[in-house]
């Protein structure tokens, strides 16, 4: 095949990272084709420098951007599209861009869009769930890809590393190997640990000799200020783009807290992580390997996947004293103590 294979995954941060093993599988299965990826502009830097991605097309959340991309892809000439997202907009892109064939998840209302369809979820034995990256690889294989493991990858440019080093130095967080990134908030209210718990964990980390930087998302400045007040010594990371955020994470000893996009960036860069699970399932979202630990609620309603909960007690019940002990033990076993002047992964 000599035409382009276009993979579509507009958002969100963690999901863009988790699709990278599937992108690698597509490239391996179509070595003579250019692999081109559609994603939102803020995530483009994570993919543009990967050796198996030949081009990144940016897509914003507007009709004009969608129509412009469809027109550009039609002019470009596309052999195959693979839709790893599956909403109405990405299905329209996959179906209208002129590709000879398309693949996507077998979702309601998508039957006429994709020539190749696979189930989005599988029922596994003993109540287990498929990892999110494995789901995407399964779709890639159906689209002619060849599996190449589930290791995630992201790119970090030299400019992003330089900006990240400057940002950490400005915060006074330039001691190699002892700075832990703490993710206190989350996109789902139901999967976010209480701020008071996060503050107690931060105080425990500080008392043990670690530096702590609060990793914040858009609109979370108030959480950063509260953490600085409740746990003096915590430094809140100022707003920065995702390229620089990846450069910061690459320098950290570990990332702990809410299961989140920054945590998946950390795993892709070889940085150890530790997270809490309540309404989501670690089978699906915990990075594989001993370097990525977790604490999970034992309530029978766990892994409900609800973004809001009327009684919400799974996350508050994960006590910060127990979490602190587990995190410190995890850092002792897996924390990065080497000189971080050399990137974890190029």
Average confidence (pLDDT) over 281-306: 94
Residue 339 has pLDDT above 80, yes or no: no
Q: What residues does CATH 3.40.50.2000 cover in the chain?
A: 4-142, 159-334
Q: How confident is the model at residue 174 (pLDDT cuts 50, 70, 90)?
A: low
Q: What angle, rounded to 10 degrees, do the helices at 195-207 and 320-334 form? A: 40
Taking the mean position of all CA atoms in its chain, how far away is CA 101? 28
The token pair that represents 224 in the structure block: 């950063």
CA dist 86 and 42 (Å) reads 20
Is this prediction's pTM over 0.85? yes
Average confidence (pLDDT) over 270-290: 96
The token pair that represents 29 in the structure block: 């299965």
Whether 234 and 202 have beta carbons less than 8 Å apart is answered as yes
Mean of all residue pLDDT scores within the chain: 92
Nearest to 66 by CA among 10, 129, 7, 127: 10
Q: What tens digit of pLDDT does each residue of 143-167 get?
A: 999 999 999 999 999 999 999 999 9
The token pair that represents 106 in the structure block: 């077998």
pLDDT at position 175 is 59
Q: What tens digit of pLDDT does each residue of 212-270 get?
A: 999 998 889 999 999 999 999 999 999 999 999 999 999 999 999 999 999 999 999 99
Q: What tens digit of pLDDT does each residue of 297-330 get?
A: 999 999 999 998 888 899 999 999 999 999 999 9
Per-residue 3-state assignment (H helix, E strand, C coil) for the chain:
CCCEEEEECCCCHHHHHHCHHHHHHHHHHCCCCEEEEEECHHHHHHHHCCCCCCEEEECCCCHHHHHHHHHHHHHHCEEEEEECCCCHHHHHHHHHCCCCEEEEECCCCCCCCCCEEECCCCCCHHHCCCCHHHHHHHHHHHCCCCCCCCCCCCCCCHHHHHHHHHHHHHCCCCCCCCEEEEECCCCCHHHCCCHHHHHHHHHHHHHCCCEEEECCCCCCHHHHHHHHHHCECEEECCCCCHHHHHHHHHCCCEEEEECCHHHHHHHHCCCCEEEEECCCCHHHHCCCCCCEEEEECCCCCCCCCCCCCCCCCCCCCCCHHHHHHHHHHHHHHHCCCCCCCCCCCC
Check: CATH 3.40.50.2000 for 4-142? yes
Residue 51 has pLDDT above 80, yes or no: yes
pLDDT at position 176 is 61
pLDDT at position 213 is 97
Which residues fall within 8 angstroms of residue 202, CB to CB, at 6 or more apart?
182, 212, 214, 227, 230, 231, 233, 234
pLDDT at position 218 is 87
Q: Which CATH class is domain 159-334?
A: alpha beta
Residue 340 has pLDDT above 50, yes or no: no
Q: What tens digit of pLDDT does each residue of 63-84 get?
A: 999 999 999 999 989 999 999 9
């Amino acid at each position: 095949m000599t035409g382009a294979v276009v993979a579509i995954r507009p958002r969100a941060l963690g999901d863009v990272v988790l699709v990278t093993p599937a992108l690698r599988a597509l490239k391996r299965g179509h070595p003579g084709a250019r692999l081109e990826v559609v994603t939102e502009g803020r995530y483009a830097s994570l993919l543009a420098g990967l050796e198996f991605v030949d081009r990144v097309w940016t897509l914003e959340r507007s009709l004009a951007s969608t129509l412009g991309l469809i027109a550009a892809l039609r002019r470009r000439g596309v052999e195959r599209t693979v839709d790893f997202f599956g909403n109405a907009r990405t299905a329209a892109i996959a179906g209208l861009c002129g590709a000879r064939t398309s693949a996507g998840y077998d979702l309601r209302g998508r039957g006429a869009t994709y020539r190749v369809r696979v189930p989005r979820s599988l029922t596994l034995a003993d109540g287990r769930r498929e990892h999110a990256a494995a789901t995407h690889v399964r779709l890639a294989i159906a689209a002619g890809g060849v599996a190449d493991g589930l290791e995630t990858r992201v790119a970090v440019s030299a400019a992003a590393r330089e900006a990240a080093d400057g940002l950490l130095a400005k915060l006074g967080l330039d001691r190699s190997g002892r700075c832990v990134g703490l993710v206190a908030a989350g996109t789902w209210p139901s999967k976010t640990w209480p701020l008071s718990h996060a503050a107690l964990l931060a105080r425990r980390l500080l008392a043990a000799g670690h530096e702590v930087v609060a990793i914040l998302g858009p609109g979370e400045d108030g959480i950063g200020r509260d953490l600085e007040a409740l746990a003096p010594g915590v430094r809140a990371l100022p707003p920065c783009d995702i390229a620089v955020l990846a450069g910061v994470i690459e320098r950290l000893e570990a990332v702990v807290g809410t299961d989140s996009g920054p945590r998946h960036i950390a795993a892709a860069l070889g940085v150890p992580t530790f997270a809490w699970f309540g309404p989501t399932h670690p089978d699906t979202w915990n990075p594989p390997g001993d370097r990525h630990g977790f604490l999970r609620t034992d309530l029978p309603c766990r892994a409900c996947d609800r973004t809001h909960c009327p009684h919400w007690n799974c996350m508050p019940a994960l006590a910060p004293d127990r979490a602190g002990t587990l995190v410190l033990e995890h850092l002792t076993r897996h924390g990065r103590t080497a000189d971080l002047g050399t990137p974890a992964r190029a």
